[in-house]
Chain A
Amino acid sequence: NAGVTQTPKFRVLKTGQSMTLLCAQDMNHEYMYWYRQDPGMGLRLIHYSVGEGTTAKGEVPDGYNVSRLKKQNFLLGLESAAPSQTSVYFCASWTANTGELFFGEGSRLTVL
């Protein structure tokens, strides 16, 4: 099983450019999340989804958009990247059966 897969793993953007991070899970989980990790701040929730076609804002949603058109995929978009969005982004999925979040390996984004 691949679990949770994120693409791309690394990306460098210039200020104002747009991009999309893709998260795919093969565990048939209903819930999916996007977090960002910054030094000394732990992980902060950007957006999440409780099922196909649904999305909701997390703790730090500004500057990001998401879509969940298929149950297995959760996309995170940056319409106009800013240096403050330089971070490591983690996708996760969850099932109530085990109570455990499964994480991808992260996507390191640098905005110049």
Chain B
Amino acid sequence: AQSVTQLDSQVPVFEEAPVELRCNYSSSVSVYLFWYVQYPNQGLQLLLKYLSGSTLVKGINGFEAEFNKSQTSFHLRKPSVHISDTAEYFCAVRSAALNAGGTSYGKLTFGQGTILTVHP
């Protein structure tokens, strides 16, 4: 089983400032990692994902995240935020283990969410 901890429930920042949203995970098997964003009254959309390869992953809207296996972290960063980045952000993990059919079930385990508020 996997678990995800987002270390900050709320992060207020000023426009054009840098931001880091922290995510740590726990798992006994290899995992894939994801960040999703939820704008008010909407569903979730994928920001970025780490499946394999380079540990620095770039996503949409200027966000990036770095997978650190030794620290079991996947922190999300943006060098300069905009008012429109105000939203709730979710870190999620999925087991990379395969079932008997040669694929995983795709189940995601989510963190508690971090509300990013960008002030003018």
| Interface set of A (CB-CB < 8 Å, partner B) | 4, 31, 33, 35, 40-45, 48, 50, 58, 90, 94, 96, 99-101, 103-106
**Interface class of chain A by DSSP:** strand
Tell whether, in the assembled complex, residue A94 and residue B110 are in contact, meaning their CB atoms are under 8 Å apart: no
Bound complex: CA A50 to CA B6 (Å): 28
Tell whether, in the assembled complex, residue B103 and residue A96 are in contact, meaning their CB atoms are under 8 Å apart: yes
Cβ of B72 within 8 Å of any chain A Cβ, yes or no, is no
A94: chain B residues within 8 A (beta carbon): 106
| Interface set of B (CB-CB < 8 Å, partner A) | 4, 6, 9, 32, 34, 36, 41-46, 49, 51, 90, 94, 103-113
Least distance between B45 CB and chain A CB atoms (Å): 7
- Chain A minimum-CB-distance residue to B105: A50
Bound complex: CA A31 to CA B34 (Å): 18
Least distance between B8 CB and chain A CB atoms (Å): 12
Q: Which among A45, A96, A100, A106 is the interface contact of B43 at CB below 8 angstroms? A: A106
Tell whether, in the assembled complex, residue B112 and residue A41 are in contact, meaning their CB atoms are under 8 Å apart: yes
Do A101 and B108 form a contact, CB below 8 Å, given A43-B90, A106-B43? yes
B90: chain A residues within 8 A (beta carbon): 42-43
- Chain B minimum-CB-distance residue to A32: B106
Tell whether, in the assembled complex, residue A103 and residue B104 are in contact, meaning their CB atoms are under 8 Å apart: no
Tell whether, in the assembled complex, residue A31 and residue B106 are in contact, meaning their CB atoms are under 8 Å apart: yes
Least distance between A109 CB and chain B CB atoms (Å): 15
Tell whether, in the assembled complex, residue A99 and residue B42 are in contact, meaning their CB atoms are under 8 Å apart: no
Tell whether, in the assembled complex, residue B106 and residue A40 are in contact, meaning their CB atoms are under 8 Å apart: no
Rank and list the top 4 A-B pairs by shortest CB-CB distance, nearest first.
A94-B106, A42-B110, A103-B43, A43-B110
- Chain A minimum-CB-distance residue to B96: A99
Least distance between B90 CB and chain A CB atoms (Å): 6
B45: chain A residues within 8 A (beta carbon): 103
Tell whether, in the assembled complex, residue A96 and residue B104 are in contact, meaning their CB atoms are under 8 Å apart: yes
Extra pairs beyond A42-B90, A50-B105 (9, CB < 8 Å): A31-B105, A40-B9, A42-B4, A42-B111, A43-B108, A44-B110, A45-B107, A96-B104, A100-B49
Tell whether, in the assembled complex, residue A105 and residue B111 are in contact, meaning their CB atoms are under 8 Å apart: no
B49: chain A residues within 8 A (beta carbon): 99-100
Residue from A45, A94, A101 with most neighbouring chain B CB atoms (10 Å) = A101
